[in-house]
Amino acid sequence: MTRRFVWFAFSVLFVSGVTLGQIADAPPSPPPDERFKADILIVVAHPDDETMVTGYLAKAIFDEHKRVAVVFGTRGDGGGNAMGYEQAASLGAEREIEGRRALESFGVMNVWFLGAPDTPGQDVLRSLETWNHGSALAQTVRIMRLTRPQVVLTWLPGYVAGENHDDHQAAGVIATEAFDLAGDPTAFPEQVSAPRDRSSISNLTEGLHPWQPQKIYYFTDASHTGFLEGKGPQYSTKAASPSRHVPYYRLAAEEMSFHLTQSDTGQMAKEALAKGDFHYFEEPVRLILGKSLVKCAPTDDIFEGTVQGPIPFRSVRGYRPEAVQGVSLELGGPWAFYREFWRAHGIENLAALLPVPEVAIGAGETLYVPLVVRNDSDLPKTVKLTAVLPPGWTERAGSARYPVSAHDLYPAQVVLAAPAGVKPAWYELTWKAESDGQPAGSVTLKVQLASGGLPQ
Ligand SMILES: [Zn+2]
């Protein structure tokens, strides 16, 4: 061994602290990055969706000093453009900036886009498909763990008569799933495993911490709001902000006015500000309490009962099949999904919001109703399906005799033509199943014929 090598070996031992009788102090372990901490995480589908709650956010941000972060599922690349010819990806590029500028005006800088395509329609299952559900969920869980919110605000995961945008519903479904997964270290475990050496490359994993949010609230684009009464807090926008000295509705209009490609939000807000007519913005912000893991009443303030630090993970019951006997009839598609989704995620209270399922379409349009004919008996059955329709409705498909194997189901697709040239109104449509000459269940759907809805 040369003298030079001995000196080298000694230096290595000394510098690394491995000298006889001593042990080095490990460097401090850095906490989660405070720059990304949020009190409220908003999970929505399109730039301008946040305007559903800006009348409340003005108060929370300017007067209560709450930190807010936002996830947009899409860049809003569908729909018309009130400013120019830019469409599709170009429109999305514009709307991302509109959304960022609008939120920046409220001091909200932590804004993420999931990159899903804008999918106009009413069937949540279609949006979950086009959004690449698993990937969108993984990213939402990641952002929930990064921002560590007490409260999540998102769209209602439910089928309503109104705009009922399937992307809105998808945002609500994914936010609910993320709420229940972000605190579970076995969900997307690569996100919560410590990196090998954070100061260098090839670190293998992401180094976040599991996080259990405390409350989740929903808002809706339903055409009617009576069913929201008493289901969550409502925030008047008419009070003046103590720090800004103008009513919250004016602050909400200013935020909305950044979305100028959108005629029904940005352009409307621009006009309201020019005319000083804010009647649209004077509507309260209406929320529905989905669930709370801390003690509070449904209509309490959204921060009532919340604690600053982490709370323990709370597992949900998950899917459990229910025992069904004989032949039965159910609404299928998104309605069937929600029935199980609410139970699986501990938000059964949403089932009581609209006891009779509903949908809205335009007069003269086609209505699609997925039905499920079930046979939970040990014998094959022939099930007769008939429709009871109000005057003016025409059935194109649906009524028939359906062969259903034992312990199987038959997905029947009902297609109806709604009456044309009628005034906006509600209709009640019923389907009846009959097996072995006996009634075997029925399904009723309320249909609102109105203008301005999305295609089903
Ligand atoms: Zn939207």
What is the per-residue pLDDT across 208-242, written as a single tens digit (0 to 9) for each?
A: 999 999 999 999 999 999 999 999 999 999 999 99
Q: Please tell me the predicted confidence (pLDDT) of residue 20.
A: 55
Residue 297 lies in a domain: no
Are 135 and 53 found together in one domain?
yes
> And the tokens for 400?
């028939």
Are 49 and 173 found together in one domain?
yes
Q: Please tell me the predicted confidence (pLDDT) of residue 281.
A: 94
- Residue 40's domain spans which residues? 34-292
CA–centroid distance, residue 164 to ligand 1 (Å):
10
CA–centroid distance, residue 72 to ligand 1 (Å):
10
Which of residues 243, 274, 292 is at a domain's end?
292
Residue 95 lies in a domain: yes
Residue 307 lies in a domain: no
Are 286 and 343 found together in one domain?
no
Q: Please tell me the predicted confidence (pLDDT) of residue 397.
A: 97
Q: Please tell me the predicted confidence (pLDDT) of residue 201.
A: 87
CA–centroid distance, residue 264 to ligand 1 (Å):
11
Are 126 and 234 found together in one domain?
yes
Neighbours of ion ligand 1 (CB under 5 A): 45-46, 49
CA–centroid distance, residue 25 to ligand 1 (Å):
52
Are 370 and 248 found together in one domain?
no
Return the HEC string of 336-369: HHHHHHHHHCCCHHHHHCCCCCEEEECCCCEEEE
Residue 83 lies in a domain: yes
Residue 10 lies in a domain: no
Are 192 and 243 found together in one domain?
yes
In this structure, the dihedral spanned by the alpha carbons of residues 93, 99, 100 and 102, taken in order and rounded to 10 degrees, is 140
Are 258 and 359 found together in one domain?
no
Which of residues 292, 312, 345 is at a domain's end?
292
Q: Please tell me the predicted confidence (pLDDT) of residue 452.
A: 64
Gap between the Cα atoms of 247 and 251, Å rounded: 7
Residue 311 lies in a domain: no
Are 250 and 343 found together in one domain?
no
Neighbouring-strand partners of residue 162: 222
As for how many domains the chain has, the answer is 2
Which of residues 271, 292, 313 is at a domain's end?
292
Q: Please tell me the predicted confidence (pLDDT) of residue 8.
A: 43
Are 217 and 272 found together in one domain?
yes
Query: CATH number, domain at 356?
Result: 2.60.40.10
Are 178 and 92 found together in one domain?
yes
Residue 391 lies in a domain: yes
CA–centroid distance, residue 46 to ligand 1 (Å):
5
Are 367 and 413 found together in one domain?
yes
CA–centroid distance, residue 346 to ligand 1 (Å):
26
**What residue ranges of the chain have pLDDT lower than 70?**
1-20, 452
CA–centroid distance, residue 153 to ligand 1 (Å):
14
CA–centroid distance, residue 165 to ligand 1 (Å):
7
Are 214 and 359 found together in one domain?
no
Listed residue (111, 113, 168) closest to 135, CA to CA = 113
Residue 67 lies in a domain: yes
CA–centroid distance, residue 76 to ligand 1 (Å):
7
The DSSP line for 366-420 is EEEEEEEEEE-SSS-EEEEEEEE--TT-EEEE--EEEEE-TTEEEEEEEEEEPPS
Q: Please tell me the predicted confidence (pLDDT) of residue 5.
A: 41
